[in-house]
């Protein structure tokens, strides 16, 4: 089956005065895909979304929607649904009037309007609030209505700019699941801006990781997590232990590295090749390290002392001083390490397959 491309960015560039804030952005979004733009504050996520929406015009490159070049085409000619971080409902209109607004502009008949408003309210699981005013709704409900308003016009593309970031943690998670369900149900091509890696990982078909206006990597959540293209991607996506060192030997797929602090680390197959004496950076995720009270057999085992333990509900985050390093270790509640006293002797162990090695110059 041939792929249908809904949105295409070809070498998009944007500058404000002389400051280039988006550079050489290339992306093809397939029909029905859920794509996230992920990156720290100021990396160019919103600027790029605003160019796709038509609020800003690119200073270089081509933007295509459904195969048509869109540079210079105003937003109202793009048939897009948009939801912003702050609630953008009209306060003097009821929920039903807010949702119907876009339909009115499109001169949809009254009976069809009523039917479509009813349908989207059911879709966002708020069938009984049609006559309320926005101030009579909770923050989470308002964002659901904003989503309903964006969807009612049956847009060819849904653009979401941090729609969950003004909500508290529990609501955020609830609405995140709701967005996932909605996307599965209606399958509208969606571009979602966020600085929250969990949101991006849990919702997206693919993630675009941005840094200082550059695309660092485009990939599925698993690729981004397990095969990061750069140190930036690896460290932005989750907590990690970072150690600098040098390659001691290369045996087939296996590498042995000695850290500056003198710890020997065995690493499994990597995405790139390495040579002895090469300067490298070694990463091990906290959840890949296990703690035991006694030494076992095997590689990547180091004796240490428990320095800190922070109870975080379903898991405990520990700090262990071992082999000249302070290692962060994530311990599940079922593990008795969560109850160990500070200062206790422990052994840290991890598999060679869970070690990521990058050339130091790339860092
Ligand atoms: P945040 O998560 O904080 O919204 P972002 O990744 O969406 O960040 P953008 O809002 O796209 O970042 O901004 C990218 C860069 O462009 C920033 O350095 C910002 O200061 C700058 N910028 C954005 N809008 C303008 C503007 N209208 N005039 C000048 N500079 C701007």
Tell me if 194 CB under 6 Å of ligand 1: no
| pLDDT at position 242 | 96
pLDDT value for 363: 43
pLDDT number for residue 336: 63
In the prediction, which pLDDT does 172 show? 87
Q: What atom in ligand 1 is closest to the CA of residue 39?
A: 6
Pick the residue whose CA is nearest to atom 28 on ligand 1.
16
Model confidence over 345-361: pLDDT tens digits?
Answer: 999 999 999 999 999 97
Give the DSSP H/E element, type plus range, for residue 331: strand 325-332
* pLDDT of amino acid 228: 93
If you write DSSP's letter for every residue of 272-302 in order, what string do you get?
S---TT-EEEEEE-GGG-EEESS--SSSSEE
Q: Express each pLDDT in 72-130 by its tens digit.
A: 999 988 889 999 887 689 999 999 999 999 898 888 899 999 999 999 999 888 999 99
Question: What pLDDT, on a 0 to 100 scale, did the predictor assign at position 314?
Answer: 81
Q: Do both 273 and 226 map to the same domain?
A: no
Find all residues with CB under 8 Å of 170, minimum gap 6, and list them: none
pLDDT digits (tens, 9 = 90+) for 208-248: 999 999 999 999 999 999 899 999 999 999 899 999 999 99
Q: What integer best gives the mean pLDDT of the chain?
A: 92
Pocket test for ligand 1, best of 44, 49, 84 (most atoms within 8 A of CB): 44
pLDDT recorded at residue 133: 96
Q: Identify whether residues 130 and 258 lie together within a single domain.
A: no
Contacts of 289 (CB under 8 A, 6+ apart): 241, 327, 329, 330, 348, 349, 350
Range of the structural domain that residue 282 is part of:
239-362
Token pair for residue 16? 């404000």
For residues 67 and 212, membership in a common domain is answered with yes
Better-predicted residue by pLDDT, 2 or 176: 176
Which ipTM was obtained for this model? 0.96
- 216 and 104, same structural domain? yes
Protein residue with least CA distance to atom 30, ligand 1:
16
The CATH number linked to 87 is 3.40.50.300
User: In this predicted structure, what is the pLDDT of residue 315?
Assistant: 86
Q: Tell me which of 217, 235, 253 is where a domain ends.
A: 235
Site to probe by mutation for ligand 1, drawn from 13, 25, 38, 47 as the one with most ligand atoms within 8 Å of Cβ, is 47
Asked if residue 22 and residue 165 are part of one domain, the reply reads yes
For the stretch 124-175, pLDDT in tens is 889 999 999 999 998 889 989 999 999 999 898 999 999 888 888 888 888 8
């Amino acid at each position: 089956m041939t792929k249908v491309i809904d949105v295409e960015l070809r070498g998009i560039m944007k500058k404000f005065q002389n400051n280039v804030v988006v550079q050489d952005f290339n992306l093809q979004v397939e029909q029905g895909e859920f794509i996230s733009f992920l990156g720290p504050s100021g990396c160019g996520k919103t600027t790029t979304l605003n160019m796709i929406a038509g609020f800003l015009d690119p200073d270089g490159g081509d933007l295509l929607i459904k195969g048509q070049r869109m540079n210079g085409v105003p937003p109202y000619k793009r048939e897009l649904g948009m939801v912003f971080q702050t609630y953008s409902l009209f306060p003097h209109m009821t929920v039903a009037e807010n949702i119907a607004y876009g339909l009115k502009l499109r001169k949809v008949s009254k009976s069809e309007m009523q039917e479509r408003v009813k349908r989207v309210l059911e879709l966002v699981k708020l069938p009984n609030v049609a006559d309320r005013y926005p101030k009579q709704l909770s923050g989470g409900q308002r964002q659901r209505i904003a989503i309903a308003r964006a969807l009612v016009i049956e847009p060819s593309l849904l653009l979401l700019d941090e729609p969950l970031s003004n909500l508290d943690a529990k609501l955020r998670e609830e609405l995140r699941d709701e967005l996932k369900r909605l996307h599965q149900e209606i399958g509208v091509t969606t571009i979602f801006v966020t600085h929250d890696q969990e949101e991006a990982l849990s919702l997206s078909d693919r993630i675009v990781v941005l840094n200082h206006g550059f695309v660092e990597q485009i990939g599925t959540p698993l690729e981004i997590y397990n095969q990061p293209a750069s140190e930036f991607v690896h460290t932005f996506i989750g907590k990690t232990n970072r150690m600098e060192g040098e390659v001691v030997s290369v045996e087939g797929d296996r590498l042995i590295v000695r850290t500056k602090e003198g710890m020997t680390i065995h690493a499994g197959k990597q995405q790139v090749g390495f040579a002895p004496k090469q300067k490298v950076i070694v990463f091990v995720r906290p959840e890949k390290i296990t703690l035991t009270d006694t030494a076992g057999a095997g590689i990547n085992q180091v004796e240490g002392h428990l320095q800190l333990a922070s109870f975080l509900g379903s898991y405990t985050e520990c700090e262990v001083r071992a082999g000249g390093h302070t290692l962060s270790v994530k311990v599940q509640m079922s593990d008795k390490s969560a109850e160990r006293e500070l200062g206790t002797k422990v052994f840290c162990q991890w598999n060679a397959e869970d070690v990521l090695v990058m050339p130091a110059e790339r860092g």
